[in-house]
Amino acid sequence: MQFQAIIFDLDGVICFTDEYHYRAWKAMADDMGIPFDRTVNNRLRGVSRMASLDIILEKYTGPALSQEEKEKLAQRKNDIYRESLQEMSPADLSAEVKETLEGLRDLGLKLAIGSSSKNTPFILGQIGLKDFFDAVSDGNNITRSKPDPEVFVKAAQMLGIAPEACLVVEDAVSGAQAGHAGGMKVACLGDAAMNQAGDWNMQSIRELLDIVKE
């Protein structure tokens, strides 16, 4: 199958904001007296903000929280996170990622983002990719987070390309599952690659250039 488009997850693929997320969730959890560590944090990969909060609240032992209180907690985490994102710059875009994106574009492929994050437009602006992608599907235009395929299906629709002609690039197992559920092939990095969740499991994003030429 000749791919016509590549749809990238953002965090852990194009750039790395894991540490910013971890610190922000930890600050919120510490304030609430909820145990939170990197093991719990790993369960939040590729998961929406409210679903992440539900995972953290599994260890909450205080009085019941209303939906409004939960939304305030999620907003507080996001405020801390967004403040830390001000530190991001084009220096957070690695030469390897930049060269791979440009190489894929030179091959005539359409490039899109498929991310559960509502902060996607802000992050792309910070790392110098604000207008680079042909389509951006993110937490602002979906109602279901990964492993539901909605974010990738919408990206393919925005591009006007059939799902089977799209290759998804993911670092989370839930994201790889979402790509497959959407009828797409998946190339994995990081945690998802270690778990052999992709059709291709890569050590480096550069391998994409060889995959699309196959």
Domain boundaries, position 70: 18-85
Residue 125 belongs to domain with CATH number? 3.40.50.1000
Give long-range contacts, CB 8 A cutoff, 24+ apart: 128-137.
128/89, 128/90, 128/93, 129/14, 129/93, 132/101, 134/5, 134/110, 134/158, 134/159, 135/110, 135/159, 136/112, 137/7, 137/112, 137/113
For residue 21, the Cα-to-chain-centroid distance in whole angstroms is 12
Same domain, 129 and 197: yes
Residues noted as catalytic: 9, 11
Confidence of residue 175 (pLDDT cuts 50, 70, 90): very high
Same domain, 63 and 144: no
**Strand-pair category, 166-170 with 5-8:** parallel
Same domain, 94 and 169: yes
In whole angstroms, give the CA distance from residue 42 to residue 191. Answer: 10
38, 59, 85 - which closes a domain: 85
Same domain, 76 and 117: no
pTM attached to this predicted model: 0.84
pLDDT tens, 65-113?
Answer: 999 999 999 999 999 999 999 999 999 999 999 999 999 999 999 999 9
30, 50, 85 - which closes a domain: 85
In whole angstroms, give the CA distance from residue 78 to residue 120. Answer: 13
Instruction: State the alpha helices, DSSP H only, in the chain.
Output: 18-32, 38-42, 49-56, 67-85, 95-106, 120-126, 150-159, 173-181, 190-194, 207-213
pLDDT at 46 over 80: no
Same domain, 78 and 100: no
Length reported for the chain = 214
Same domain, 122 and 186: yes
